[in-house]
Structure 1
């Protein structure tokens, strides 16, 4: 009987021990599961905290930007008003300059119209069909080129009687244009001039021929203040001085009829100064 009791007691202990181990294992498994959940929650928490810090920084940045934008909006309003005022002033200035440019162009157009009318009158008066007389326009200036064989004998600066007929026609047109100047240019070939004690060379001869023409024009009623004497010598040839025919071409007197330079350019200069705002 006693052995039976001991045996039952031992069996009970073994059974109890087995039950405790099973529960312990279950507890450990549960504890591990809970620990895993805790670790996962901790990671998520840390992530959330980091994201929160980042969001807080972004919020601070946006707040600052918002404040700056509000301030800038006020500044932009001021700048926009000033900009509009500046644009308006610029447009007014452009309109003024356009008007001045238009006035300047009108002045030049009027001058060109007068020049063209002068050319027409001159061609009609002097006889454009004469090959020894050429009338043309270069850069708004009228040029009358007369061969020296119509004006002078070789090496002479005394105007021939026949030349006075041609010069009379030229003078008639010049007298009708008191606001124009008349410059008389003498041109020679390159054959050396034999000095006669009065004239030294071709340059002297070209100037003397110019003044001789001017004196004839004076007699024909052209005011002295309206004329300019100029001698170019051999230095502005039309063709090479290599043949007798070419040298004849280069020996010429050129009468230049142009608006009074000082008056015309005073007007141009005044308009340009006004245009530039000086």
Structure 2
């Protein structure tokens, strides 16, 4: 809308000032082209942000579904507790009635009194057993509620940690924007994707100087986050490898490229090598259509997938 308004203004200005020089007219045309380019850039950025928001919404819905299930279980336990307490109150009332009746008996109805005392003793035992069950249910309910609260806190902390990790990586890799490198947060993980044009030559697994700089920056972030598990995946397009020597096919090539990235990350002594895993995916996990050259370029990539350790969270879910 802004561009259309400016454009109309420029045209009107040109019509009203027919004597304007060609240079002024050319400058106005250039300004209009720049504004159109800026508008397209903003539209592309808006589309990317919308896509990321949708992915985060899906993750949020999945976590919310788990919490809703746990809360439903907790509410059922609370309902059982209320039912047991009601039964206990009834037993207590019955016990009080029997005790009162027993106090009003006299010697002439000793037999009846003995029967009432026997019934009273049975009621007392039942009351004690129900009280024990009630206490157990109450303790279990409290424990379950505490675990649900802890789980909610852990999930929130995990989401915040992932967001911070993504922001840190984006800032560290800002200099490689527009060079085939992207950073995304989805499915509870952070993905750093690097196209081969940044890292490798055709058919090669030797990392170029510019690509190595990017990998080194990732290594610095990993060194500061030792609890992150890191999977490095190599991907190719669907064009069969036709080289020779140590490589047989795209499987070999994708694996060697992933291993090359692991070696660079391992050069940072503060990165725990036990947290690193290299994997070759060959051509079988494309992100674009291999029918176009642009699609093939996007498929030839390295993905560094960062996953927070979920051992404690998984254990808590199992316990609940």
Partner of 2:215: 167
Q: Show structure 2 runs of 5+ residues with no match.
A: 1-115
CA distance in 1, matches of 2:217, 2:249: 31
Q: Summarize the alignment of residues 79-228 of structure 1 with structure 2, pairs less than 5 Å apart.
A: 79-127=126-174, 129-130=177-178, 132-221=180-269, 222-228=271-277
Deviation at 1:90, TM superposition (A): 0.6
1:227 deviates by 1.6
SS of 2:183's partner is strand
Q: Distance in 2 between matches of 1:149 and 1:235?
A: 19
- The CA deviation at 1:272 is 4.2
Corresponding residue of 2:305 = 256
Closer, same or farther: CA 72–235 of 1 in aligned 2, 3 Å: farther
- Coordinate RMSD, CA, aligned: 2.6
Q: What count of residue pairs does the alignment treat as equivalent? A: 205
1:268 aligns with 2:313: yes
Give 2:3's aligned residue.
none
Quote the Cα distance in structure 2 between the aligned partners of 1:79 and 1:94: 22
SS at match of 2:245: coil
In the TM superposition, what is the alpha-carbon distance from 1:184 to its structure 2 partner? 1.1
Rounded to whole Å, the distance in 2 between the matches of 1:245 and 1:270 is: 44
Q: Secondary structure at the match of 2:274?
A: helix
Shift of the alpha carbon at 1:108?
3.0
- 1:237 paired residue number: 286
- TM-score (ref. length: structure 2): 0.57
Do the aligned residues in 1 keep the contact of 2:200 with 2:208 (CA within 8 Å)?
Answer: yes
SS at match of 1:87: helix
Contact (CA 8 Å) 2:203, 2:243: kept in 1 or not? no
CA distance in structure 2 between the partners assigned to 1:226 and 1:86 by the alignment: 47
In structure 2, C-alpha distance between the alignment counterparts of 1:258 and 1:180, rounded to whole Å = 6
Query: What secondary structure does 1:228 align onto?
Result: strand
Tell me how far 1:138 sits from its aligned partner.
1.5
- Cα distance in 2 for partners of 1:210, 1:125 equals 21
Moved over 4 A (4+): 70-78
Q: Secondary structure at the match of 2:281?
A: strand
Larger Rg: 1
User: Normalised by the size of structure 1, how large is the TM-score?
Assistant: 0.65
Following TM superposition, by how much is the alpha carbon of 1:73 offset from its aligned partner in structure 2, in angstroms? 7.8
- Which secondary structure does the structure 2 equivalent of 1:233 belong to? coil
Aligned to 1:111, the other structure's residue is in SS state helix
Partner secondary structure for residue 230 of structure 1: strand
**In structure 2, do the counterparts of structure 1 residues 269 and 220 end up closer, same or farther at CA, with 3 Å as the change threshold?**
closer
